[in-house]
Structure 1
Amino acid sequence: MAEEDRTTTPTKRRSRNPGSQPALRLLNRQRIIDALLGAGPSTQAEISRSTGLSTATVSNIVKSMAAKGLVSTAPTTSSGRRALSVTLNGNGAVAVGIDFGRSHVRVVLANLGYQVVAERALPLPLGHHASESIAAAADLLNLLLAEANIPRSLIVGAGAGIPGPIDRRSGTVVQGAILPEWVGINILERLEKTLELPVYADNDANLGALAEVTWGPHRSVSNLMFLKIGSGIGAGLILNGAPYYGNVGVTGEIGHATINEHGPICRCGNRGCLETVASTATMIELLSRGAVGPLTVGDIVRRALAKDSATLRVIDDAGLAVGRAIGNVANLINPEVIVVGGPLAGLDDLLLDPIRRGLLRHAVPVVGESTTLAMSSLGDRAEALGAASLVFQHQRIRRP
């Protein structure tokens, strides 16, 4: 599946006309990057032959890339003639990926080869305000740049994800986010002002899906659903090789699918939503009854792996409910793969088995049986890695 197809995003700094001269220049630059990634250092004439671009076009783009630190050049000889050798700088262009969570912020730096060159996360207090986490992200970014000895001028942009829907028309966080303190905030304006970088923002589940088809083992999958189970439950969709955003960018809110219309009130105002049954917040509430102190998600994972019967029952009930919800989605979109991510990934089959039972019970048999269910191999890095991918894809830089 061509990764250049995965470029539509709900919230971006500016739109581009794919047929414009700047867009054509970006495509030609990508062809040169691809050639250098495949063949290593090459002369401009060799690049021209391998890409089909004219020598004048190659020369102009190489000059621009050298000025930005993407490549380095050096005089050489080829067939007895003077030539210019071009070498791709591994860290010549760096994308920043930021994952804002309910109680953490994570920042990664990734280079042109889609390699993580620096990464760090910080815990944040529950109920933190946007200004706190944005300031923490800016501090982390500066720290990572210093540690990796990367000049700020090499950053091509920053991607950011939050656990909640973003209205792509305005770039604002809308009601329903796990971070209610962020509702109404224009995340692009706030981040661009603080970071002084081009910024692209998206929902964390969408970024998790993007990460699975760029960093994970599912790069050849054209129809994938990424399900993040945490304090909230959200889904990101890759349909026909591209992220799916619907009308205004609010998609994948599977956590608010009604499981029991007479169930408890959800934070969205409805009753019996999936989140009231299967979120980690609900699991913690159920298992903390009678406990000396409140449990953490890590405690749930440890108790489940130790075969604690109450914990296993809560996980089984949650998994069946999740399976029922994704069964309904699978009947609509028929995904090839459904990847489960989030802080419960360490449970592996303890969580996947009940989800699979629920999926097979509620999906059309041929759909349920042909859908692969897998746990994410990217762990808690998925959303930040997806955010970095978002930047490169806006720059038309595909994974080699």
Structure 2
Amino acid sequence: MTNKIGEPHYEAINKRSVRSGGLPFSRLLPGVPVTYSTPLPDTLDLAAIRARNTLLLLGRLWQGDRARVDLARELGLSRSAISSIVTELMDAGLIHEAGQRAAGQGAAGRASGGGGTVGRRATLLALNARAAHLLAVDLGASHARVDLMDLRCVTRATRTVPHEILCGPAATYALLADLTQAVLTEAGVRRAQVAGVGAGVPGPVDHATGRVVQPPNMPGWDGENVMAGLEKALGLPTRVDNDANLGALAETRFGAHRGALDLIYVKAATGIGAGVLLGGRLHRGVRGGAGEIGHISINEQGPVGRSGNPGSLESYAAAQVLVETAAARRAAGMPTALPASLTLADLIAQANTDPLARAVWAEAGHHLGLAISTALNLFNPSAVVIGGRLAQAGEVFLDAVRESALSRTMRINADRALIDLSTLGADAAVLGAGAMLLDHLFTPAGLRHLYGVAAGRGPPHVPPPASPAAPAFPNSFGGTP
């Protein structure tokens, strides 16, 4: 075995240990149980063990700076084993020494056993968050956003522009290529320093292929391979998922319910979708279509929505429906200060003050609560987090959701379930895209890719895709299968 970057022991991992299930980034955090998708084999080669320990160490340093002695204690490894891994990661440029621990802090501060004098203060190790970068793409029905992030998902440069998704794939890819170049230029980062692209789209995604499948809110995109299209346009390996799934990842990694293993994120905007996290893993279903809560029928005799299903949630509570409802009631004479040509922004701005706006939001919350009660009874999550544009309406909307949902949910499923508005706002999708990329990079095969980028060799060249396109990243074996 060798400590040289990207050399044979990682090749051994790809061939032997990957079959047993890798260790996703979402499982490298303290307090989160480490599990595998299939049972471990009877024997585990030394290369796989070393890779696992390397990933555990990186996961700890992603959370915060630590000394070698802390890492040895937390991971149950010898000082020599920690030293060997640290040396390899420092050679790769992924971690660095970050000065000495403050006096009296941590293990070094306890070395004297309570006496007045302590020994030499320990040197802290830190993740080099700029050893590689991530590109996060948030594609909505009426906007496009690209963020350049470091390995802690801190944005270094961002661009958001109005963009109608119905303009089609070609125009969208060209725009995203321009936005990507803009953020790279602003941050002074070369394309070779980018480990990959994570993209969220407002429609169902076949996770194995990156194709969108009959997306109600993306006319002209049915069957489009977004992963292949972005790889060709940007020249970088790409992962694509539904925006609600990325919202769920963002909430459990960065939101108010950080660390939750069973959580549902509802994105309520032009369309309404949900990301379902069960046992710390996204539940995508057999193709990736799980969580389409907007197409649950809440009234089988109701109006037909975009999906063609009568009485679907989106028929009652999607953004444009609320605007049309408010306009009709205003025309019918309901007292209001809203303008004649009212917009969703008007409804949001006066959600808690105008009587017509309050009535519209309370009704929308009631309808959304009906669908959430179904999700609560099916999955028994610890939290339901509501994000997207409609969440900006605030308490009048949230109160109606809670009352409607919890009154229709069995007590065993309602007692410990929290229903809250997202605290991440418009950043949820890009943070989720970053989390999705980390879940792939912080696996044995992904680590090899990350080593190459950090060492200056850049990501692999992405040729024009064949059909169907294979994923450019190694397969995921953990948090985002």
- Fold conserved (TM > 0.5)? yes
Corresponding residue SS for 2:236: coil
Q: Does 1:200 align with 2:247?
A: no
Q: Does 1:257 align with 2:279?
A: no
Rg (Cα) greater in structure? 2
After TM superposition, give the deviation of residue 361 of structure 1 in Å: 2.2
2:428 aligned partner, one-letter code:
A
Q: Residue 348 of structure 2 is aligned with which of 301, 311, 315?
A: 301
1:170 aligned partner, one-letter code:
T
Q: Is the 8 A contact 2:89 2:95 kept in 1?
A: no
Corresponding residue SS for 1:366: helix
Q: Residue 415 of structure 2 is aligned with which of 356, 369, 392?
A: 369
* 1:5/1:30 CA distance change after superposition, 3 Å: closer
Q: Is the 8 A contact 2:269 2:390 kept in 1?
A: yes
Q: Which has the higher strand share?
A: 1
Q: Is the 8 A contact 1:167 1:248 kept in 2?
A: yes
Match of 1:335 in 2: 381
Q: Does 1:188 align with 2:227?
A: yes
After TM superposition, give the deviation of residue 197 of structure 1 in Å: 1.0
After TM superposition, give the deviation of residue 210 of structure 1 in Å: 0.4
Match of 2:32 in 1: none
1:190-339 equivalence runs, <5 A: 190-289=229-328, 290=331, 294-305=341-352, 307-339=353-385
Match of 1:30 in 2: 55
Corresponding residue SS for 2:407: helix
1:29-178 equivalence runs, <5 A: 29-34=54-59, 52=77, 53=81, 58-63=86-91, 65-66=92-93, 70-71=94-95, 88-125=127-164, 127-178=166-217
Q: Which moved more, 1:223-232 or 1:30-39?
A: 30-39
Q: Residue 401 of structure 2 is aligned with which of 339, 355, 379?
A: 355
* 1:38/1:241 CA distance change after superposition, 3 Å: closer
* 1:50/1:168 CA distance change after superposition, 3 Å: closer
Corresponding residue SS for 2:197: strand
After TM superposition, give the deviation of residue 33 of structure 1 in Å: 3.1
Sequence identity percentage: 34
Instruction: Give the Cα–Cα distance (whole angstroms) in 2 for the partners of residues 62 and 119 of structure 1.
Output: 29
2:322 aligned partner, one-letter code:
M
2:395 aligned partner, one-letter code:
D
Q: Is the 8 A contact 1:208 1:386 kept in 2?
A: yes
Note the residue ranges of structure 1 that are not aligned, 5 or more in a row.
8-17, 75-84
Corresponding residue SS for 1:373: strand
* 1:166/1:258 CA distance change after superposition, 3 Å: same
* 1:169/1:87 CA distance change after superposition, 3 Å: closer
* 1:119/1:28 CA distance change after superposition, 3 Å: farther
* 1:57/1:370 CA distance change after superposition, 3 Å: closer
Q: Is the 8 A contact 1:209 1:225 kept in 2?
A: yes
Note the residue ranges of structure 2 that are not aligned, 5 or more in a row.
1-23, 30-39, 99-123, 332-337, 444-477
Aligned residues: 373
What are the superposed Cα offsets for residues 161-217 of structure 1, whole Å, 9 maximum, x if unpaired? 101111224321001341122211011110111111111111000000000011112
Instruction: Give the Cα–Cα distance (whole angstroms) in 2 for the partners of residues 298 and 25 of structure 1.
Output: 53
Instruction: Give the Cα–Cα distance (whole angstroms) in 2 for the partners of residues 41 and 135 of structure 1.
Output: 43
Instruction: Give the Cα–Cα distance (whole angstroms) in 2 for the partners of residues 71 and 203 of structure 1.
Output: 32
Q: Is the 8 A contact 1:227 1:338 kept in 2?
A: yes
Instruction: Give the Cα–Cα distance (whole angstroms) in 2 for the partners of residues 103 and 6 of structure 1.
Output: 36
Match of 2:437 in 1: 391
What are the superposed Cα offsets for residues 291-319 of structure 1, whole Å, 9 maximum, x if unpaired? 876433211101213x2222211111111
Q: Is the 8 A contact 1:223 1:241 kept in 2?
A: yes
Corresponding residue SS for 2:253: coil
Instruction: Give the Cα–Cα distance (whole angstroms) in 2 for the partners of residues 315 and 330 of structure 1.
Output: 22
CA RMSD of aligned residues (A): 3.2
* 1:24/1:348 CA distance change after superposition, 3 Å: farther
Instruction: Give the Cα–Cα distance (whole angstroms) in 1 for the partners of residues 133 and 402 of structure 2.
Output: 39
Instruction: Give the Cα–Cα distance (whole angstroms) in 2 for the partners of residues 25 and 142 of structure 1.
Output: 37
Match of 1:79 in 2: none
Match of 1:345 in 2: 391
Instruction: Give the Cα–Cα distance (whole angstroms) in 2 for the partners of residues 176 and 296 of structure 1.
Output: 24
What are the superposed Cα offsets for residues 13-38 of structure 1, whole Å, 9 maximum, x if unpaired? xxxxx989997665444344356557
After TM superposition, give the deviation of residue 348 of structure 1 in Å: 1.7
Instruction: Give the Cα–Cα distance (whole angstroms) in 1 for the partners of residues 319 and 71 of structure 2.
Output: 52
* 1:87/1:342 CA distance change after superposition, 3 Å: closer
1:304 aligned partner, one-letter code:
A
Instruction: Give the Cα–Cα distance (whole angstroms) in 2 for the partners of residues 309 and 260 of structure 1.
Output: 26
After TM superposition, give the deviation of residue 71 of structure 1 in Å: 4.6
Instruction: Give the Cα–Cα distance (whole angstroms) in 1 for the partners of residues 304 and 63 of structure 2.
Output: 55
Q: Residue 179 of structure 1 is aligned with which of 213, 218, 236?
A: 218
Corresponding residue SS for 1:112: coil
* 1:33/1:350 CA distance change after superposition, 3 Å: same
Instruction: Give the Cα–Cα distance (whole angstroms) in 1 for the partners of residues 28 and 281 of structure 2.
Output: 4
* 1:391/1:22 CA distance change after superposition, 3 Å: farther
